[in-house]
Amino acid sequence: MKKEFQQLLDAATKAKNNAYAPYSNFHVGAALLTSSGKLFPGCNLENSSYGLTICAERNAICRMVADGERQIASILVIGDTEEFLPPCGACRQVIAEFSSPDTVIYMCNKNGDCKETTLSRILPFTFFLEDKKRDR
């Protein structure tokens, strides 16, 4: 798993450096690894209409879906912060759409120090696709 973690960190760091953040100057990168082993990076993309901003995590997920993948095995988020950077609430729910409760999430700071957690720990009582199917 160490090799996979390093791949995620390298890809997310590179993506962070490509972020488009002229308004906040807050650059974020993400990278995810699918259950089939494919790697997808993403960066934040701001817009003068702030509500149209796309977070790095959702950018990576959109790339994954466009490539035909549907299952996140792990995802890493890195930003220019002293603290470990967690996904925002909206990103947590979008991650959940393509994950399981034990999906690994790495939250990293500007030094590349990371904290490992799982989706169920940062988004308890998650509503998953399987829950919707049971309601039918």
Q: How far apart are the first and last CA of the chain?
A: 38
Q: Which of 46, 57, 82, 97 is catalytic?
A: 57
**pTM for the whole structure:** 0.92
Our answer to whether residue 57 is catalytic in this structure is yes
- Looking at the 3D structure of the chain, how many domains does it have? 1
**Domain containing 45 — which CATH number?**
3.40.140.10
Q: Are 113 and 83 in contact (CB under 8 A)?
A: no
**Residue 59: which domain range?**
2-134
pLDDT tens sequence across 20-33: 999 999 999 999 99
Q: Which helix (H) or strand (E) holds 10?
A: helix 2-17
Q: Are 113 and 81 in contact (CB under 8 A)?
A: no
The sheet that has 72-79: what strands, in order across it? 39-43, 28-34, 72-79, 104-108, 114-118
pLDDT band at residue 125 under the 50/70/90 scheme: confident
pLDDT tens sequence across 87-123: 999 999 999 999 999 999 999 999 999 999 999 999 9
| AA letter at 69 | E
